[in-house]
Structure 1
């Protein structure tokens, strides 16, 4: 850090402390999200089964936390109806994403899902009259080049399952966009529940949809061994509860550009953990592709300062 910046930081240390705490909370939340894909691998369960237990455990913990904190509100049919579309979107996201994790690895699967940044911007432009950020087009170009280096350059070498995993990762981004838009719309315009309680309700509805999907696939939801139990409880607690609570408290205290940068810790750390813990073979082209894709996602997520403050 330059000396001038250091001096300014020291002078404003008392004022900047809450901001620093928010940065730490946001970074920890994003790091916890990056670990969720590893828990899917370690659970040794069918993709829909691990998704079901994530939502079941996470939703139950969230609702219990709201009740114990004294913020419980009566849940009506209107609330359940409003949570139905986000639950369907998130269920479709997890059904595809968990398969992509197992078929192409946690790192690539998480990166593919995060390309929803561009789809969100296109939906906002087409239906909500929101102008894309200035970096949208160059960001999309960078992301596409990075994605080609990661998967396109080796496409002919992949088997059918790996190729399907890539498409499912992209499909999970589409479903995640549906979840984000419908969840935000419900909270902003109609839902009267506290956000944590609404998320808990949505999670349990999603668990019900995932159970029905798993029954159609013929999956067994019986868990055997402490490893599966511990991995899935951790998946629900860290991915659906703790990470969300940390990030939701930190986001209002940070500029949108910094939030976007810190959120990139999720796919970046997921890729690194995939290489370090699961032994993913990675060359210079893969690392270059990762950097370009992350840079593209960041540029696509940035907003002008005035518009970000308004949002």
Structure 2
């Protein structure tokens, strides 16, 4: 890992990864399997490509790492809790609660990683999360969830799981490449999701060629989306990265509008603009401080 990588490249990789991951809800809708089963296929199809990439660039995946395994467990929890949370409560409430991730990451990074945020960054977190919440709250149209209290709890836990995943990847990137972390986190996470799908009695195999194509697409979004995010986490503070990935629900909303005619209302557009403003402010607030020049003596 090179510390000489320009900051703009890390930001660009992070934005690219968030945009790619924003496609995954569309593919999940097209995959005719159970929620945990779709998450399993996502990692199942990602692992061979990740292995091929690490063999080509690094001579292999190396030995399993503890942080890679932890990241795999956390990511499995993230996908399973979110998929089932969104089934039990309303889509809007599930989206709102899962967008607590930047708050959780910022608190953990501040307390445990000593990444002390500036006041401007805390304001950016509030702005970005508020915008994402506004966009999510504007989606719903009155339908009640099957079991809203349980769904709300699972959705809130989603933010916690993904925050721990990002923190594990961020810590692991200090000593391990993004490719190797992605390999081992995916190898660990896949069987957890398969066991969960079997225990919950889900439909495991896609029922159509389109469903299989969507599952393969989920694998590609994992490799290139989460892979880009993992790479950027080696070059940016974890708290900063957690705010930038709020671009993800905005991308998903725009794709839903384009592909499924799910029109974006004025309040949703306002929320997207506010969230993007928070992302921009977060980058400004975390820019490297200028070093004072010392006069020649």
Cα distance in structure 1, aligned partners of 2:278 and 2:180 = 34
Whether 1:87 aligns to 2:72 is: yes
1:26-65 alignment runs, 5 A limit: 27-65=15-53
| Cα offset, 1:28, TM superposition | 4.1
Kindly provide the CA deviation profile for residues 152-210 of structure 1, in whole angstroms up to 9, marking residues without a partner as x: 57889341249566654443221101111122223425x5xx43123112101100111
Cα distance in structure 2, aligned partners of 1:123 and 1:256 = 10
Match of 2:174 in 1: 188
Whether 1:97 aligns to 2:103 is: no
The runs of 5 or more residues in structure 1 that have no matched partner are 1-17
Look up the SS of the partner of 1:183 in the other structure. Answer: helix
Match of 1:9 in 2: none
Match of 1:240 in 2: 222
Match of 2:3 in 1: none
| Cα offset, 1:86, TM superposition | 1.2
Asked if the contact 2:132–2:249 (Cα under 8 Å) also holds between the matched residues in 1, the reply is: no
Cα distance in structure 2, aligned partners of 1:261 and 1:148 = 13
Match of 1:177 in 2: 163
Alignment CA distance shift 1:176-1:104 (3 Å): same
Asked if the contact 1:133–1:302 (Cα under 8 Å) also holds between the matched residues in 2, the reply is: no
Cα distance in structure 2, aligned partners of 1:292 and 1:306 = 24
Match of 2:180 among 193, 197, 208: 197
Match of 2:199 among 213, 216, 226: 216
| Cα offset, 1:138, TM superposition | 2.8
Match of 1:230 in 2: 213
Match of 1:270 in 2: 252
| Cα offset, 1:306, TM superposition | 2.4
Cα distance in structure 2, aligned partners of 1:293 and 1:165 = 25
Alignment CA distance shift 1:173-1:160 (3 Å): same
Match of 1:10 in 2: none
Alignment CA distance shift 1:93-1:258 (3 Å): closer
Q: Which has the higher helix share?
A: 1
- Normalising by structure 1, we get a TM-score of 0.73
Asked if the contact 1:27–1:263 (Cα under 8 Å) also holds between the matched residues in 2, the reply is: yes
Match of 1:160 among 141, 145, 156: 145
| Cα offset, 1:48, TM superposition | 0.3
| Cα offset, 1:242, TM superposition | 2.3
Look up the SS of the partner of 1:199 in the other structure. Answer: helix
CA RMSD, 1 decimal: 4.0
Comparing 111-120 with 150-159, which one deviates more in the overlay?
A: 150-159
